[in-house]
Homo-oligomer: A and B are copies of this chain.
Amino acid sequence: MSTELFEVVTPEAALARLMVHVLPLGRTERVPIDLAAGRVAAVDVRAPEGLPAFARAAMDGFALGAVDTFGATEGLPTYVRIAGEVPMGAAPAEPVLPGTAWLIHTGGMLPPRADAVVMVEHTQRIDATNIEVLRPVAPGDNVVQPGEDVAPGSVVLPAGHLAQPHDAGALAALGITEVEVVQAPRLGIIASGDEVVPAHRTPGPGQVRDVNSTALTALARAAGAEPIRFGIAPDDRATLARTVVRAHAETDALVISAGSSVSARDLTAGVIAALGAPGILAHGISVKPGKPTIVAVAEGKPVFGLPGNPVSALVVFDLLVAPAIRRLLGMTDAPMPQRCQARLAHNIPSVTGRVDYVPARLVEREGNLWAEPIFGKSNLIFTMVRAHGLIQVPLDLGGLRAGTIVDVRLF
């Protein structure tokens, strides 16, 4: 189970191997629609009725038969009698008769036999009950037809859709006030390393506080998982194995923040390999920082060995763990691209054969978005606080020149 048995693979290859074995969990729950944002729809949500339910005016004006406006011009207007005013929130009392129109407000219900609305700007009052129409309208003009927004029975929120805040409004329009969403996958989090003490403890000489349990907890929540922490395991095979086996049994996926040294990583690899089939799928990915990553599946559950270095852990979480969570959630659409393009502010050196991620701050100058790389050793934690995302330096480029348009993966 030593590192040497595995070839370094690209993150895409590691993810592809992983995804073969990961299936949506399918546990669901109902939530009120205004709390659904960020949750994944568990089933197709269909429109119980059409929307709008009736023909509505899209403008303030006069509802009439379009035929009564045909040929109208400013020089030669047509004449129409105002038969009444459509009240908001109620059905008009009578149909529109030929040669007559009803005053109507935006959102008002068209009276029977009216098929268009002429905008108030295109009419001229003659007296209290008569208007001139100065421009013709075609049937359907300035009218939202029944079912034009949504047809009855159509899918309004497909299963696997990550609900956005504004989706709640769309569901409310249909009278849907609760929605079936996927339950958050439980992500087990284990830190390891003899040198690691809990964040609330004062470290002794040579000791450091546990950074990754906290960071992974927050990242898991942001990715839609329920984080469950299993504390810090020492670099001792029996204890680590006991913690990992328990966490694996009690959760849907597992991340182990491994010690930084080769021996600590080999220990973690051995424990992960013993968890179950198919076992380790990749050990080492062609990414900097993040190379000493372990990707495994045991009994259908993804298991990750993440580098102890917090910046690496963040990069690998983003590249591999978050997509696995999305799969467990059954998410079918990428909600929004978690990346953007910007102009590079300084040269970035790199080596070919691996993808480099460099933390960057985004700034807007004269309407253009610039990515300012933040250089620093990859194990410096606080470079990340100042960054908006990571500049991706592709596999086969030996660096990037200032001014190039680059991809930035946003946090």
A175→B202 contact, CB < 8 A: yes
B150, A195: Cβ atoms closer than 8 Å: no
Q: Which residues of the partner chain B approach A227 to less than 8 Å between Cβ atoms?
A: 34
**In the complex, what distance in Å separates the CA atom of A388 from the CA atom of B336?**
6
If A37-B222, A148-B380, A260-B105 touch, does A91 touch B165 (CB 8 Å cutoff)? no
How many copies of this chain does one complex carry?
2
A167 within 8 A of B: yes
Task: Flag whether A58 is at the interface (Cβ < 8 A).
Answer: yes
Q: Are A170 and B211 in contact (CB under 8 A)?
A: yes
How would residues 158 to 200 of chain A score, 1 for a CB under 8 Å from any chain B CB and 0 otherwise? 0001001111111111111100000000000000011111011
Given A369-B341, A384-B170, decide whether A109 and B194 contact each other with a Cβ distance below 8 A. no
**Cross-chain contact B105 with A263 (CB below 8 angstroms):** yes
With an 8 A cutoff between CB atoms, is A144 at the interface?
Answer: yes
A105, A109, A150, A157: residue with the most chain B Cβ atoms closer than 10 Å? A105
Interface residues of A in 17-43 (CB under 8 A from B): 33-37
- Closest B residue to A178 using CB positions: B200
Docked CA distance A377–B91 (Å):
23
With a cutoff of 8 Å between Cβ atoms, the chain B residues found around residue A208 in the complex are 52-53, 56, 107, 173
- Binary B-proximity of A256-271 (CB < 8 A = 1, otherwise 0): 0001111110000000
Select which of B54, B195, B341 is within 8 A of A340 by beta carbon. B341
Q: Is A75 an interface residue (CB 8 A)?
A: no
Q: Are A88 and B193 in contact (CB under 8 A)?
A: yes
B215 and A411 within 8 A (CB): no
Query: A73 to nearest B CB, angstroms?
Result: 23
Chain B residue nearest to A307 (CB atoms) is B106
Q: A204, B169: Cβ atoms under 8 Å?
A: no
Residue of B nearest to A165 (CB): B218
Please, how many angstroms separate the alpha-carbon atoms of A207 and B92 in the complex? 12
Decide yes or no whether A373 CB sits under 8 A from chain B. no
- Contact of A149 with B380 at beta-carbon distance under 8 Å, contacts A88-B194, A169-B214, A337-B362 already known: yes
Instruction: Tell me which residues across on chain B come within 8 A of A218, comparing CB atoms.
Output: 33-37, 165-169
**Assembly CA distance A259 to B92 (angstroms):** 18
A334-B87 Cα distance, complex, nearest whole Å: 45
**Across the interface, do A261 and B88 meet the contact criterion of CB distance under 8 Å?**
yes
Whether the Cβ atoms of A107 and B260 lie closer than 8 Å is: yes
Other-chain residue from B89, B161, B262, B388 in contact with A195 (beta carbon distance below 8 A): B89
Per the 8 Å Cβ criterion, residues 187-241 of A in contact with B are 193-197, 199-219, 221-222, 227, 235
A108 interface contact, C-beta 8 A = yes
Does A65 make an interface contact (CB < 8 A)? no
Chain B residue nearest to A222 in the complex (CB) = B165
Taking CB atoms, residues of chain B closer than 8 Å to A364 are 337
The distance in angstroms between the C-alpha atoms of A34 and B200, with both chains bound, is 13
In the complex, which residue of chain B has the Cβ closest to the Cβ of A199? B172
Most buried by B among A213, A215, A339: A215
**B156 and A382 within 8 A (CB):** yes
Q: Would you call A284 an interface residue if the criterion is a C-beta within 8 Å of the partner chain's C-beta atoms?
A: no
Across the A-B interface, the 9 shortest Cβ-Cβ residue pairs: A169-B215, A105-B261, A89-B195, A91-B205, A340-B340, A165-B218, A106-B260, A109-B206, A172-B199
Q: Which residues of A contact B (CB under 8 A)?
A: 33-37, 51-54, 56, 58, 60, 86-92, 105-109, 144, 148-150, 156-157, 161, 164-177, 193-197, 199-219, 221-222, 227, 235, 259-264, 308, 310, 314, 335-337, 339-342, 362, 364, 369, 377, 379-382, 384-385, 388-389, 410-411
Q: List 29 A-B contacts (CB under 8 A).
A: A58-B379, A87-B206, A88-B235, A88-B264, A89-B194, A89-B195, A105-B264, A106-B260, A107-B208, A107-B260, A107-B308, A108-B195, A108-B206, A144-B379, A164-B411, A165-B215, A165-B218, A165-B219, A166-B218, A166-B219, A166-B310, A166-B385, A168-B217, A169-B215, A170-B381, A172-B210, A173-B199, A335-B388, A337-B364
